[in-house]
Amino acid sequence: MRCLRTTTLGYSPCPNDTFIFCGLVQGKIPLSHVCFAEPQLEDVETLNSWAMQGSLDVTKLSVHALGYLLDSYTLLDSGAALGRGCGPLLVTAQATAPQAKGDLAAWTIAIPGQYTTAALLLRLFLPKSCRTVVVMRFDQIMDAVVSGQVDAGVIIHESRFTYQERGLLCVQDLGVWWEQETGLPLPLGCIAARKDLATEVLRETEQAITESIRWGYAHLDECRSYIRQHAQEIDDKVLTSHINLYVNDFSLRLGEEGRAAIQELLRRGRAAGVFTIPLA
């Protein structure tokens, strides 16, 4: 293989990402121009922050974060987390259920990172009411809601499948709200690459991710151990549900509808003044 350069790679430890990249990082996908370094697996907000610094060549991003990075990163057509019925959930404790449709402006709401798509969706859903937010890791939010540290939280990833077991109530499925507002699938995450990478590297990376997804579907049993190594939940039903929800035809190829959904989310973010705010 003629390697043009060593390419750094980052994605989250969530089952959809480890499923997507399993074949690629385990050497199952032939490559001609790309040599990937050992991948960096971090929560998506950490990856968002690293991308703000240009730290990784190819990385998973929240679509929200992409809105700040269009000058330096290009959206790849493969590897996205985008679909219907897959949105973040605004949840509260059952004890506060009677006021769940009340004055949300008085609530303190936990969000899973400043640059996550969940944070942007909450702002679009509650443009005048979302006053007090607390940023915390996605896997700490349910505990914070249950303990009363916050009044509500926006949950993502595996939490979507387990929140009811913690006695929590869904106040609003933000994906349902988005689909009702726009008629489009919800764009949550994407794979982006630095614009200064060689054209051959960009093209082959995009194709390799598509082939890795196809390999994963054909070799799911071989993927399971790699997925379990990094997952918050190890129950097979939860893992399978997670992959089925977030990995789909849009992951293989965004296509016109997928790109339209991303453009619409970023357009609404700009209209709300989100992307005019300087980065810290």
The binding site for substrate comprises 60-62, 117-118
Question: Which DSSP letter does residue 190 get?
Answer: E
By residue count, the chain amounts to 280
Whether residue 157 lies in the annotated active site:
yes
Binding site membership: which residues? 60-62, 117-118
d(CA 143, CA 133): 16
Nearest-Å Rg of the Cα atoms of the chain is 18
Residue in 33, 64, 157, 242 annotated catalytic = 157
The type of residue at 258 is: G
Angle at 81 between CA 76 and CA 84, to 5 degrees: 130
d(CA 13, CA 204): 23
**DSSP-assigned beta bridge partners for residue 10:** 40, 59
Q: Hey, what are 124's tokens?
A: 């679009």
End-to-end CA distance of the chain: 41
The per-residue b/e assignment along 147-177, b for 16 or more CB within 10 angstroms, e otherwise, is eeebbbbbbbbbbbbbbeeeebbbbbbbbeb
Question: Which DSSP letter does residue 277 get?
Answer: S
Catalytic residues: 157
